[in-house]
Chain A
Amino acid sequence: MFAGLSPDQWQAVALSVRVAVVAMLGCLPFALLTAYALARWDFWGKSILNGLVLLPLILPPVVTGYVLLLLFSKSGVVGSFLYDWFGITFAFRWTGAALAAGIMAFPLMVRAMRLAIEAVDPKLEQAASTLGASRFWVFVTVTLPLTLPGILAGAILGFAKAIGEFGATITFVSNIPGETRTLPIAIYTLLQVPGTESQVLRLVVAAVILALGAVLLSEWISRRVARRIGAGS
């Protein structure tokens, strides 16, 4: 079935995978830190942070995309700083697509990881610290391994969301073939032209295979992890 894709379509599929992988990996440490903070720390402004994290889930994606454009274009507050100091640009680049996809995936990843961290019995962490483990080691040797299934679930959810991201991406980085035209945007573009039904169908099949593959992979990994952690957890 993939063999039936044209080079342009292949490009869109490959770009989507790259964008989604980068978005998911880039988000992972931040999402984990945020999830841990929301689950375990008490600090001023916790509910504000919680709201901010959820914002991309609630706002219309177009609004998120526009805010990104304002902030990260070369003349934007953050964008100009990043360009001047590090030479990094996001606007109308595939990195921008990854940024948009990551922002949209962030709330889903945080939510899954937060639930997993909250499910870890703090008494186990206390037991670890009485055995001499510092906060860092408690996290690495107890909290993290017990949260692993949740982290994986969050990562796969984030990947799926990033693959499917459309509104914020097209608003922020537009529709440039080979640079920002991801799988959903490619399908949308084809739909604008009459007589492209068969090409659309092929891309749709590619999307289904990608999604299914991600889900099966995550199931397989979480089964293995669950077996290692044991039925007791």
Chain B
Amino acid sequence: MDQQARGAADRGGVMISVDIRSRIGDFPLDVQFRGEGGVTALFGRSGAGKSSVVNAIAGLLRPETGRIVIDDDVLFDAERGIDVAVHKRRIGCVFQDARLFPHLTVRQNLTYGARFSKGRDGAVDFDRIVDLLGISAILDRGPHNLSGGEKSRVALGRAFLSRPRLLLMDEPFAALDDQRKAELLPYLEKLRDEFGIPIVYVSHAMAEVARLADTLVLMADGRVTRFGPVADVLSDAATAPLLGLREAGAILQGQVLDHAEDGLTQVATAGGTIWLPRMRSGRGAKVRLRILAQDVLVATEAPNGLSALNVLRGQITDIRIGNGPGALIQIALGDDRILARITRRSAQTLGLAVGKTVYAILKTVSVAPENIADS
């Protein structure tokens, strides 16, 4: 088991299993996947059917056939005629448009779900949530004069306070600009870690998914093209073209060793130590780095006289030659695997082959802050 999957198990390990088929207008939906605790991310282009899957889990859309099970609770089973009502599913939703109730104050919005969840175990403390989300100053305001980021935070808090056993998030921050989004993700990570509520997260932004997900479900045209632990899926050279080659990039686990005075942070990884732009995480913190395949160079010998600070030694585990001029090389660094996107010509010139020891070279500045997260 890799580090991600272990992290997921630590967070409760609630099993979600979806197996549904339906037809929405002319659009066929045929989706099977399983996620285990933590964050299960549904990733795909708009129109891939992600929202339909989320609506089916919430009970807002009834599939024609199939089953939806959370742990041992069957929420939907077409054959057995089971279709649990939306309000009895205990599944919280955070929608893209925050959907706050306009006739209630922020405080009343936050406590709306509490009256229906009395007597449930797993108390979520109101003050703690308000504190974590930083919304104590706006509790008595109405939703209509909140900023977009504030609305999203209130929607997030409202869903958590209804004490759900699963949280569905359908591109919750898609309406916000990148800066606001970057501000909100840490709130979500705090809530996830503190309350251990499993999350199904819909997104079409790979950076978000790589940062948050434990399980990744790739969707296209109403079907699941691949699902599994996020590190496995993202480091799979065969899957990378499905994500778009520019987005292809694997996850590397690391631990912060030191912050240097020249603005760099030293991180230990399975392939050796590397230097990255200054991080916020403190010494000893475990971090998750997304390394884009196009930012990795490959050398067959340890390079000399090179400006790059990061040279990682590993072994080639897979080579995929595409239709174009490029090739994807999967390199194992201990338990982790990263991808390198180079030209076919280079691959042939260097004589790359599975099993060969190579050096992956990574420019320090190429790891952008949005591709670094605490894990």
Contact = CB atoms under 8 A, between A and B. Distances in A.
Interface string B68-103: 000000000000000001111111110101010111
A131 B113 contact: yes
Nearest to A233: B102
Contacts of B260: none
Interface residues of A, number: 25
B345 interface: no
Interface string B1-26: 00000000000000000000000000
User: Chain A contact residues: over half helix, strand or loop, or mixed?
Assistant: helix
A232 B87 contact: no
A232 B101 contact: no
A217 interface: no
A220 B375 CA distance: 57
A171 B142 CA distance: 52
Given A146-B102, A230-B144, A130 B86 contact: yes
Nearest to A137: B116
Interface string A107-148: 000000000000001011011111111110110011001100
A131 B161 CA distance: 9
A133 B97 contact: no
B285 interface: no
Given A123-B97, A129-B87, A233 B92 contact: no
B96 to A, nearest CB: 10
A228 B92 CA distance: 27
A209 interface: no
Contact of B87 (A123, A132, A229): A132
Contacts of B97: 123
B277 to A, nearest CB: 40
B50 interface: no
Contact of B93 (A130, A146, A232): A130
Contacts of A123: 95, 97, 99
A131 B116 contact: yes
Contacts of B159: 130-131
A231 B162 contact: no
Contacts of A130: 58, 60, 86-87, 89, 91-93, 159, 162
Nearest to B118: A132
B153 interface: no
A230 B112 CA distance: 18
B101 A124 contact: yes
B249 interface: no
B196 interface: no
A229 to B, nearest CB: 4
Interface residues of B, number: 28
Contacts of A121: 99
B143 interface: yes
A233 B85 CA distance: 28
Nearest to A146: B103
Contact of A145 (B60, B103, B158): B103
Contacts of B117: 132
A131 B113 CA distance: 5
Given A126-B86, A230-B143, A132 B162 contact: yes
Nearest to B143: A232
Contacts of A131: 87, 92, 112-113, 116, 158-159, 162
A49 B29 CA distance: 36
Nearest to B97: A123
A42 B10 CA distance: 47
A133 B86 CA distance: 9
B87 A134 contact: yes
B86 A228 contact: no
A50 B89 CA distance: 35
Given A126-B60, A126-B86, A146-B102, A232 B162 contact: no
B87 A133 contact: yes
B267 to A, nearest CB: 40
Contacts of B145: 231-232
A146 B99 CA distance: 14
B55 to A, nearest CB: 9
Contact of B102 (A126, A135, A137, A232): A232
17 contacts: A123-B97, A127-B95, A127-B101, A129-B87, A130-B60, A130-B91, A131-B87, A132-B90, A132-B116, A135-B87, A145-B103, A230-B102, A230-B144, A231-B144, A232-B142, A233-B102, A233-B144
Given A127-B95, A132-B113, 12 more contacts: A121-B99, A126-B60, A130-B91, A131-B116, A131-B162, A132-B88, A132-B117, A135-B87, A142-B101, A146-B102, A233-B103, A233-B144
